[in-house]
Amino acid sequence: MVAVSGWTCTGKTRFARALAARVPAWQAVVLSQDDYYRDTSHLSRTERTDVNYDEPESYDLDLFADHLGALRAGASVPDLDYDFSTGARRVTGALGPTRLVIAEGVFAFWDARVRAAANLRILLEGDLEVLLRRRIARDGAERAYTPAEVRERFEKMVIPAQRRYLGGAGDAADLIFPAGWDDECIDRAAACLKGDTSGPP
């Protein structure tokens, strides 16, 4: 099992998927914490805007840990998808069984169950201004937030929460890469998975 953590918009999901593609014979499954947000479809658009999605309570981390445990035991789990435009979480299929589980999310290191179970822990870091620009682009395209809304959430919710919960994450990481990671970073992580720790750190 691999755990990929990092600040918002450091490319955790893309990194996890790219790593999974490096080991096709392993039938890797990527489990994203963002798909485990608690369903808020019963709330209005305004009410959902007031929810702090950067706090652990916004996720069903118990279910996330249960699904990780089931996959590691060789079972299948529901494939969840969270719709940020409506706040609905639904089942879209099934995942597993698999030889490799890649768990990615802001709280992949913060949750002791995930941190302890991971054979390899990868942290992605980035400059706040770069991450804010990425978040404005992503949340505008995928989550229907205006740039002003994103900036306000970033300053009032994202920065305080992620400083609180990701502080010291580097101490738990086996590998640390920048948000501008490239194919060499993926190759390095894949080599570690295969037991080859030669080459640059």
pLDDT digits (tens, 9 = 90+) for 52-99: 888 999 999 999 999 999 999 999 999 999 998 899 999 999 999 999
Q: What angle do CA 109, 113, 114 make, to 5 degrees?
A: 45
Please determine, for residue 197, whether its predicted confidence score (pLDDT) is greater than 60: no
> Could you tell me which of 41, 74, 53, 27 has the C-alpha nearest to residue 139?
53
Task: Tally the residues of the chain.
Answer: 201
**Distance between CA atoms of 155 and 153, rounded to whole angstroms?**
5
Give me the phi and psi of 165, to 5 degrees please: -95, -20
pLDDT given at position 67: 97
Please determine, for residue 166, whether its predicted confidence score (pLDDT) is greater than 90: no
**Distance between CA atoms of 163 and 168, rounded to whole angstroms?**
9
Over residues 105-110, the mean pLDDT reads: 92
Output the CA torsion 125→141→53→100 (10° steps). Answer: -60
pLDDT given at position 199: 43
Please determine, for residue 201, whether its predicted confidence score (pLDDT) is greater than 80: no
Delineate the domains of the chain, giving CATH numbers in brackets.
2-190 (3.40.50.300)
CA atoms within 13 A of residue 153's CA, in its CB half-sphere = 23
pLDDT given at position 196: 57
User: pLDDT tens for residues 112-146?
Assistant: 999 999 999 999 998 989 999 998 998 888 777 89
User: pLDDT tens for residues 7-35?
Assistant: 999 999 999 999 999 999 898 999 999 99
Please determine, for residue 103, whether its predicted confidence score (pLDDT) is greater than 70: yes
Please determine, for residue 2, whether its predicted confidence score (pLDDT) is greater than 90: yes
Q: What angle do CA 103, 110, 23 make, to 5 degrees?
A: 20
